[in-house]
Structure 1
Amino acid sequence: MTDTPAPTSGSPFDDIRALLSAMPGPDEAAVAAVRARDAELTKPAGSLGRLEWLAEWLGAWQAKPKPSVARPLVAVFAGAHGVTARGVSAFPDVVNRQMLENFAAGGAAINQICAAYGIGFKVFDLALDIPTKDFSAEPAMSEKDAVATMAFGMEAIAGGTDLLGIGEMGIGNTTSAAAIYSALYGGEPARWVGRGSGVDDEGLARKVRVIEEALALHGEALSDPLEVLRRLGGREICAMAGAILAARAERVPVVIDGYVASAAAAVLHALDPRALDHCVAGHLSAEGAHREALERMGKTPLLALNMRLGEGSGAAMAIGVIKAACACHTDMATFEQASVSRGEG
């Protein structure tokens, strides 16, 4: 945590920079308590691998010596993209509204995963009937729109949760995510572009060309990560960034979904490398150069199942693992309780 006030410029983004400057850090006392209990549990030290680390991570960010996952939530943000007019997706924009109806009816994959693991599920409609602008021709959003959408995303935790998974749905948003990675990390756009919902070779070439045009159009403005977000992003990406920030302020650990959700995280990481300390990467997506993006953010995914669906599905699967890690830590017997002899050496 830093006490240095964020510089102000009169920009709507000043409030976001102020939130970043006031981020709380991990609770080291809670971490010490988790480690002390772990040393007493009926297992060889280190035998549960990353599950032990996950218990420490939960304790650090919940500020609880005995962490809990009693009210996990997956929040899915849905947005529409003007860039789809350039033919960058295999599906038409009408699918956005149809998928929201499918979520409401309980018919999507994410509904089944959340039900299987006892995870709450919320969907946020981000003006689906009003697409963002085509970012290859003009900024996708104004600063005011981008900040307002980030603020809307902050409401994801308003109902209370102790573990948040973030996901998205939006035709064309893998193009937006690839553009964000290209702007933040450089290299040829083709390096970051994948097939998304299943475009053919011509569609893939269009995605690359659209991003090349966008990078040339927005130029030096892309040196500011928040300008990258509002010029190349979508409302769902803004909202996920806002949800990550709100969770940090309220000490709620976060599980990031795949390729598009990670683009929201990448913007925050570019602003401050500590901004994602309370986050884990739920899974490694099969889309684009997701592995490289995660490596740049210092994140090792919990799962690698060759998934690329989006809609929070990878985050939800990872929450199942985190719930198990927490249960092992909190409910396993100690050597004394179980009358089990300790090993030697």
Structure 2
Amino acid sequence: MSKFRIKPLDHSFEVDLQSIIDTKTKPLGALGQLEELALQIGLIQNTEEPHIDSPSIVVFAGDHGIAKEQILNPYPQEVTAQMVYNFLNGGAAINVFCKQQNIDLKIVDCGVNHDFEPGLEMSYLKVAKGTNNYKHGPAMTPDQCEQAIENGASVIEDLYNKGCNTVGFGEMGISNTSSAALIMRQLTRIRMQNCVGAGTGLTPDGVENKIKTLKEIRSFYNVGRDPFKTLYTFGGFEIASMVGGMLKAAELGMIVLVDGFISSAALLVASKMNALVREYSIFTHESDEHGHQLLLKHLDAFPILNLGMRLGEGTGCAMAMSVIHNAVAFLNNMASFEEASVSQA
């Protein structure tokens, strides 16, 4: 989306920043990916002394019309709303991990097929009660997609105005692995069977049926490689909101933490709209969902963790946060060879 004005990172002091990293009291490269993270975060913030302020994770929730077919997912659509209540009650994995890591958690209703009572600790940004069933027509209208993108951007801008400079993107939405697989197939040209996985627990036969069904659905449309058309044809309101949020976060110079398969599919769309968003993105883990490894390769991404997780919710972002904190900490606090009077090789 051209309206998001993302600045390219200023690499003018990259040599100096790399020199600071290299002259810490350690062999060259001995801290591995921590060094790469420190360099990226320093460049994002355009400083030799980066900092993580008010880190937050946003869980965007939305329902998918295709879930009503009950052919692509073993769980009924009602689970989306039930899990939102679980988030609000503090009982989900993301609640536990955010509390452990001292991360603020925000829940957003982007389009859940449920009327949440007023006054809950969440953002009410419902575009509609779930997307349309893309087996019979596009998931959403272009206007609805635009609205979801704007909603996601507004959530992130609000966090930024409250002092947050690091935000993780999580999601909840029954059948959203199907949407992510279709988006991945459409925008990467990776074969469908390599994009589709078990989601929340399909059997091998169920996965084969899922591949067949999604191939048939994709054959109904001719959207080319246009990211916006792909998004409103196959996406969900939560995915579109993440796209807007990621683009806005990059525009504001924030660190974008990408979770698993669904979040990476949103980043894929965002990067096709504005490639500069990729420079601001840290991929927190490699999901165990089939297809994520190939999607990460397409995005030239090297995730921090690989724990065999495939839960979503932003859990990978939460688990990786301590690594990100340590990357910043060593850059700011570790002595150099000169400061420690240690001989350098």
Q: Secondary structure at the match of 1:178?
A: helix
The residue that corresponds to 2:234 in the other structure is 232
Matched, 1:60 2:43: yes
User: How much does 1:40 deviate?
Assistant: 4.0
The residue that corresponds to 1:4 in the other structure is none
* Aligned-partner Cα distance in 1 for 2:234–2:274: 20
The residue that corresponds to 1:318 in the other structure is 320
Provide structure 2 residue ranges, at least 5 long, that are not aligned to the other structure.
Answer: 114-128
Given candidates 197, 202, 207, the residue that maps to 1:199 is 202
CA contact (8 A) 1:77 1:240 kept: yes
* Aligned-partner Cα distance in 1 for 2:45–2:240: 24
The residue that corresponds to 1:13 in the other structure is none
The residue that corresponds to 2:32 in the other structure is 49
CA contact (8 A) 1:256 1:281 kept: yes
Matched, 1:152 2:137: no
Matched, 1:342 2:329: no
The residue that corresponds to 1:7 in the other structure is none
* Aligned-partner Cα distance in 1 for 2:74–2:341: 59
User: How much does 1:45 deviate?
Assistant: 2.7
User: How much does 1:202 deviate?
Assistant: 4.3
CA contact (8 A) 2:2 2:274 kept: no
Letter in 2 for 1:331: N
* Aligned-partner Cα distance in 2 for 1:61–1:54: 10
The residue that corresponds to 2:213 in the other structure is 210
CA contact (8 A) 2:153 2:241 kept: yes
- Residues 340 and 52 (structure 1), Cα distance of their counterparts in 2 relative to 1, 3 Å cut: same
Provide structure 1 residue ranges, at least 5 long, that are not aligned to the other structure.
Answer: 1-15
CA offsets 1:76-115 (integer angstroms, 9 cap, x no match)? 1001000012221111111111111111111111111112
Matched, 1:81 2:84: no
User: How much does 1:165 deviate?
Assistant: 1.0
The residue that corresponds to 1:117 in the other structure is 101
CA contact (8 A) 1:27 1:60 kept: yes
CA contact (8 A) 1:132 1:235 kept: yes
CA contact (8 A) 1:42 1:340 kept: no
The residue that corresponds to 2:188 in the other structure is 185
Letter in 2 for 1:191: N
Letter in 1 for 2:59: V
User: How much does 1:187 deviate?
Assistant: 4.6
* Aligned-partner Cα distance in 1 for 2:344–2:111: 60
- Residues 27 and 282 (structure 1), Cα distance of their counterparts in 2 relative to 1, 3 Å cut: same
CA contact (8 A) 1:303 1:318 kept: yes
* Aligned-partner Cα distance in 1 for 2:74–2:234: 20
CA contact (8 A) 1:97 1:128 kept: yes
The residue that corresponds to 2:308 in the other structure is 306
* Aligned-partner Cα distance in 2 for 1:131–1:143: 15
The residue that corresponds to 1:173 in the other structure is 176
CA contact (8 A) 1:29 1:65 kept: no
CA contact (8 A) 1:34 1:66 kept: no
User: How much does 1:32 deviate?
Assistant: 4.3
For the aligned residue pairs, the C-alpha RMSD in angstroms reads 1.7
Q: Secondary structure at the match of 1:222?
A: coil
User: How much does 1:184 deviate?
Assistant: 1.4
* Aligned-partner Cα distance in 2 for 1:17–1:116: 38
CA contact (8 A) 2:22 2:29 kept: no
Q: Structure 2-normalised TM-score?
A: 0.89
The residue that corresponds to 1:137 in the other structure is 136
User: How much does 1:58 deviate?
Assistant: 0.7
User: How much does 1:237 deviate?
Assistant: 0.7
CA offsets 1:138-192 (integer angstroms, 9 cap, x no match)? 0001111101101111123212312111111110100111111111122542221
* Aligned-partner Cα distance in 2 for 1:33–1:27: 12
CA contact (8 A) 2:112 2:130 kept: yes
- Residues 32 and 187 (structure 1), Cα distance of their counterparts in 2 relative to 1, 3 Å cut: closer
User: How much does 1:282 deviate?
Assistant: 0.9
Q: Secondary structure at the match of 1:17?
A: coil
Q: Structure 1-normalised TM-score?
A: 0.89
The residue that corresponds to 2:116 in the other structure is none
